[in-house]
A and B are shown apart, each in its own frame.
Chain A
Amino acid sequence: MIVRIPTVLRSYTGGRETVEIAAPTTLGAAVDALDARFPGFRFRIIDEQHAVRPHIKLFVDGALARDLATSIAAAHELMIVGALSGG
């Protein structure tokens, strides 16, 4: 699966705009895979109660997903967006 990384998180990916991860079964598994590869990544976008943080949006093949249990086994792309955080 291709993951599109927003500028706000590229300090974790060494500046890379996209990274590839092995096909995850759920959205949570995708986030965990990113965290394993880029330590600290998960907590910046997912809080300690497993909720996506308010100014982060996750799109799976173009569809907004907020539940980490969402099945994404057949998906091709996860796009992470940092949205509307104020001035």
Chain B
Amino acid sequence: MAASAKNAAAAAPRATTLLVATRKGLWTLTSDAARRKWKLSGPDFLGHIVHHALKDPRDGKTMLAAARTGHLGPTVFRSTDRGRTWKEAGKPPAFKEGSGRTVDHTFWLTPGHSTQPGVWWAGTSPQGLFRSEDGGVTWAGVDGFNDHPQRKAWCGGDQDGTPDGPKLHSILVDPRDARHLYISMSSGGTFESLDGGAGWTPLNKGVRADFLPQPDPEFGHDPHCVRLHPNDPDRLYQQNHTGIFRIDRPAERWVEIGASMPKSVGSIGFPMTLHPRDPDTLWVFPMDGSSVWPRISPGGKPAAYRSVNGGKTWQRQATGLPKSQAWWTVKRQAMTADRAPTVGVYFGTTSGEIWGSRDEGRSWKCIAQHLPHIYAVESV
């Protein structure tokens, strides 16, 4: 796709706002129109573990933040005035009484379909799917998933999963069809629903799961981050525990696209983010998944990798980033892109830095530092 066509639908230059969810609260970074100067404000919810925060693109003013503290149970805070004031949800995500399951934290938030104002989806740890129909005030479990007879087989027990707990994440809504959904789980894999969440089918064929005994299993995979392109909703990308994959529906089989990454870097990572208009352009941020899985930038030399051809080839993008001795990680929700004509790409690190590129990853600049461990960065 030609560059001019890629940018045809681009918005006029405007300030970018980033919501930065951390282990100790929520901060906001706002740029000037040129995205050269940034102002940090916050914190909101100081001392809360904030796993995710988003603004509703449908009304431009509702914001949700998923939070808990070390002592207190999980909740969702909501604002209807762009974050100026917040109120706690009346009924946060919680499993059914008698189910024996308890939500440790709400991990992922996704606004619903454009035709369903007020609908939000939430993924929890351990793996649970929840839905709100009133803008995040009250939440109910999605029985089609939470009570599915195969759920335990798909996910394992509530103690299985990542060191911070097993997670349901990457809740994707097909912009053409509010009933067409995807979810992903660490662990469990990626699943599809064609009926608004009543029924679910595994969608993992082709994704390597070499930590499982059987080849090409139906489920049990470990997707770290799955993205659907809004301009081509049949195109999904997946950064997995085992590599980078892509699927073009109605295909039922993922194709590995990380094989051309440099061998010294590998194709394992947590986050990925997509160009907002070009379905062939995406960024990943590899980490060291060798030996005992250090999960830091390979060799202490952080770099983003960009593909402009759907994953056929990758280019290293490290200009401006530390050249050595930088041992941080970028988590699965901590990389995002804005919608400027020349797309800005941003990521937050486990050491509390935000790095930004105003030229689609060609060069990077540290735009905030000294923050707590960063869980999520969203351009809103």
Interface range for B: 20 to 34
Contacts of B90 in A (CB 8 A): 39-40
A40-B100 contact in complex given A45-B72, A48-B94, C-beta closer than 8 Å: no
Cβ A43 vs Cβ B73 within 8 A? yes
Cβ B75 vs Cβ A47 within 8 A? no
Cβ B70 vs Cβ A85 within 8 A? yes
A83 at the interface (CB under 8 A from B): yes
Contacts of B73 in A (CB 8 A): 43-47, 53
- As a 0/1 sequence over residues 4 to 26 of chain A, the CB contacts with chain B under 8 angstroms (1 = contact) are 00101100000000000000000
Cβ A44 vs Cβ B97 within 8 A? no
- As a 0/1 sequence over residues 244 to 269 of chain B, the CB contacts with chain A under 8 angstroms (1 = contact) are 00000000000000000000000000
Smallest CB–CB gap between A58 and chain B, Å?
A: 13
- As a 0/1 sequence over residues 37 to 71 of chain B, the CB contacts with chain A under 8 angstroms (1 = contact) are 00000000000000000000000000000000111
Question: Quick one: closest A residue to B94, CB to CB?
Answer: A48
B88 at the interface (CB under 8 A from A): yes
Cβ B75 vs Cβ A49 within 8 A? no
Compute how far the CA of A9 lies from the CA of B71 in the bound complex, rounded to whole angstroms. 10
Contacts of B88 in A (CB 8 A): 39-40
Cβ B102 vs Cβ A49 within 8 A? yes
Task: Please pick, from A39, A40, A49, the residue contacting B97 in the complex, using a CB distance under 8 A.
Answer: A49
Smallest CB–CB gap between A26 and chain B, Å?
A: 17
Compute how far the CA of A83 lies from the CA of B103 in the bound complex, rounded to whole angstroms. 20
A44-B70 contact in complex given A39-B90, A49-B102, C-beta closer than 8 Å: no
Cβ B71 vs Cβ A49 within 8 A? no
Compute how far the CA of A83 lies from the CA of B70 in the bound complex, rounded to whole angstroms. 9
A76 at the interface (CB under 8 A from B): no
Task: Please pick, from B71, B92, B97, B102, the residue contacting A83 in the complex, using a CB distance under 8 A.
Answer: B71
Compute how far the CA of A85 lies from the CA of B72 in the bound complex, rounded to whole angstroms. 9
Contacts of B82 in A (CB 8 A): none
A28 at the interface (CB under 8 A from B): no
Compute how far the CA of A73 lies from the CA of B188 in the bound complex, rounded to whole angstroms. 47
Cβ B102 vs Cβ A47 within 8 A? yes
Give residues of chain A (28-60) contacting chain B, Cβ–Cβ below 8 Å.
39-40, 43-51, 53, 55-56
Contacts of A86 in B (CB 8 A): 70
Compute how far the CA of A8 lies from the CA of B71 in the bound complex, rounded to whole angstroms. 8
Compute how far the CA of A75 lies from the CA of B99 in the bound complex, rounded to whole angstroms. 32
Cβ A55 vs Cβ B71 within 8 A? yes
Smallest CB–CB gap between B117 and chain A, Å?
A: 25
Contacts of B75 in A (CB 8 A): 40, 43-44
5 A–B contacts from the bound complex (CB under 8 Å): A8-B71, A44-B75, A46-B73, A49-B102, A85-B70
Residues of B within 8 A of A (CB): 69-73, 75, 88-90, 92, 94-103
Known pairs A47-B94, A48-B99; list 10 more (Cβ under 8 Å). A40-B75, A40-B89, A45-B72, A47-B103, A48-B96, A53-B72, A55-B71, A82-B70, A83-B71, A85-B70
Residues of A within 8 A of B (CB): 6, 8-9, 39-40, 43-51, 53, 55-56, 82-83, 85-86
